[in-house]
Amino acid sequence: MSTSSLRVRDLRCDYQLNPLGFDWQEPCLSWRLDSDQRGVAQSAYQIQVRDGQSDLWDSGKVRSEQSLHIPYHGPALSSRRRCIWRVRVWDRNDRPSDWSDTSWWEMGLLHTTDWLARWIEPDWDEDPTVFNPCPYLRVPFILRAQPVGEIAIHWHIDGEHFQFTVTVPTNTTATVVIPTRLGREITEGKMALSSVVEVRGVRCEQEATCIEIGSGMYTFTGISHS
């Protein structure tokens, strides 16, 4: 049987490339398709997942055009387990594609007994009516190897308006602190922060807006002063 011109690429697990620290049992898998021909579409897919030692899940051939948010339906996963997966699809003429390159996700620490450390916490009692300054923990250290990536930042301010560009490497998260209290007026590109999938959280502090983001490139714009 001849193979399809479809190519499976850009495998993602819950929108992320090779993510670490999953703490739920049904991550959703997605992929993109390429073809040199026009009018070619997926009619079925097959997902295979293994952990390096044994096969965990084989979906078999599933008749579906879906390529987004397909939940993992294999056995329950344990802490720190790395799951390696791949996909192939069939086109409308029932011709299979080649298997995709493999991708992976790794489970986090799922149970309290997995943790050996204790939380570092301030020594005051939390009172929601009192504003306490943010405590900092600073510890000098020496890297024993080269850094795996770096975060690149570029600021541009024109009067009261700013443009802030930041690039976060793969498998990295960052918190961007922007000196403005007008968090609701900050956009990424032309989208509100609440509409950007990679923005994991936004909080406003006394004189700043803190934006938690995953890997990728972002351009934030807004007003720098209230």
Q: Which pLDDT band holds residue 149 (cuts at 50, 70, 90)?
A: low
Query: In the chain, which segments carry CATH 2.60.40.10?
Result: 7-112
Residues 51-90 as b or e (16 or more Cβ within 10 Å = b): beeeebeebeeeeeeebeebebebeebeeebebbbbbbbb
Residue 165, both tokens: 């560009």
| Domain boundaries 7-112, corresponding CATH code | 2.60.40.10
Give me the mean pLDDT over the 50-78 stretch.
Answer: 94
| 3-state class (DSSP) for residue 164 | strand
Is the predicted pLDDT of residue 224 greater than 90, yes or no? Answer: no
| Least confident piece of the model among 43-47, 115-119, 140-144 | 140-144
Averaged pLDDT, 114-127: 75
Outline which parts of the chain fall under CATH 2.60.420.10.
152-223
Quote the CA–CA distance of 97 and 88 in Å, as a whole number: 6
Q: What is the pLDDT of residue 46?
A: 98
13-41: pLDDT as tens digits: 998 999 998 888 889 999 999 998 888 99
Pick one of 3.40.50.2300, 1.10.645.10, 2.60.420.10, 3.40.50.620 as the CATH number of 152-223. 2.60.420.10
With pLDDT > 70 as the criterion, what percentage of the chain qualifies?
A: 82
Q: Which residue has the tokens 């999938």?
A: 197
What does residue 108 show for φ and ψ, rounded to 5 degrees?
Answer: -90, -160
Q: 171 vs 86, which has greater pLDDT?
A: 86
What are the two backbone dihedrals, phi and then psi, of residue 158, each rounded to the nearest 5 degrees? -125, 95
3-state helix, strand, coil in the chain (%, to 5): 5, 40, 55
Per-residue pLDDT at 95 exceeds 90: yes
Q: In this structure, are residues 37 and 2 in contact, taking their beta carbons and an 8 Å threshold?
A: no
pLDDT at 4: 85
pLDDT tens for 189-218 read 888 888 888 888 888 777 778 888 888 888
- Conformation bin of residue 73: beta by default, left when phi > 0, alpha when psi is -120 to 50: alpha
